[in-house]
Copies of this chain bind each other. A is one copy, B any other.
Amino acid sequence: MTAKVVVLTGGVGGAKLVLGLAGVMAPADITAIVNTGDDFRHLGLHISPDIDTLLYTLSDKANKAQGWGREGESWAFLDALRSLGGEDWFLLGDGDMALHVLRSHRLAQGDRLSAITADFAKAWGIGLTVLPMSDDPVATCLDTDVGMLEFQRYFVERRCVPAVSRIRFEGSEAAVPAPGVLDAIGEAEAILIAPSNPYLSVDPVLAVPGMREALRDARAPVIAVSPIIGGKAVKGPTAKLMAELGITPDNDAIAAHYAGLLDGLVIDEGDAAPGNGIPVARTDTLMTTITDRRRVAQAALDLARAIGRR
């Protein structure tokens, strides 16, 4: 398949799908549009967790067991930081610091996040295009039973314990898609939504003005890979969050969430299809091995091809 494919993605789950995709088609034809709602400043550094997860995963540097950060990471920086009384709730590995320091330095010099990300991907030999959803700041903020929390404070510092009542994407109304985002969507033959958290990882991408319109206007079918397996989200706080928001964690909810955008849904072979009659493909959607990732990616591509251009 030489047709171009776009993936809207958050961090870990999305990176697995993108890696699988790069195993079944030409990486040069893949564009990953990555959530930056999790981005935040910490110790004066600009940290882009989802972009970093993509970069580590696609350059084979990711710590697979841990699910974040670099394989073989060391922690001398954090140890020294602790000895100085610095904030240590966000775990910054020694090697990991390079991305944050260089990114922050270049942003301060006026470079765009998209240009910096492209340079990082090129330096690490990543053959596909990794685009932030926007070069403008968007901050995922959660109203919780302990007050408003920025995403990393909720996700890392509080370990998703607070009950969430509302999710907002601050700054999104003023954000514009990063250079290349709308063109990639327009030129794609398939648009995939990764099995990332729909509310925390995909919604920030969809909240960037122009993004929903571009997806609706695209000639390519939009296919989501459901993050639900057996009534549970595979990873992270998706199921807990859905319960708190009063949503049953099933494929009906996923289909409803992406209503108006979606042309097809890849679901786990053990789960019920949504009742709205949307075309589905079934496979084992748990992406443990690289074979799993390729299978799920291929299932999504096959469904897109079966549906064809709109």
Contacts and interface: CB of A to CB of B under 8 A. Distances in A.
A106 to B, nearest CB: 9
B80 A95 contact: yes
Interface string A84-128: 111000000111111101101100100000000001100110000
A60 interface: no
Contacts of A276: none
Interface residues of A, number: 32
Contact of A77 (B81, B94, B120, B123): B94
A45 interface: yes
Copies in the complex: 2
A165 interface: no
Contacts of A66: none
B94 A81 contact: no
A67 to B, nearest CB: 19
A83 interface: yes
Interface string A202-244: 0000000000000000000000000000000000000000000
A124 B84 contact: yes
Contacts of A81: 98, 101-102
B43 A105 contact: yes
User: Chain A interface mostly helix, strand, loop or mixed?
Assistant: helix
Most buried by B among A73, A84, A96: A84
29 contacts: A43-B102, A43-B105, A44-B108, A45-B101, A73-B76, A74-B94, A76-B94, A76-B95, A77-B77, A77-B94, A77-B98, A77-B101, A78-B98, A79-B95, A80-B95, A80-B97, A80-B98, A80-B99, A81-B98, A81-B102, A83-B123, A83-B124, A84-B102, A85-B119, A85-B123, A86-B101, A94-B94, A97-B97, A97-B101
Interface of A: 43-45, 70, 73-74, 76-81, 83-86, 93-99, 101-102, 104-105, 108, 119-120, 123-124
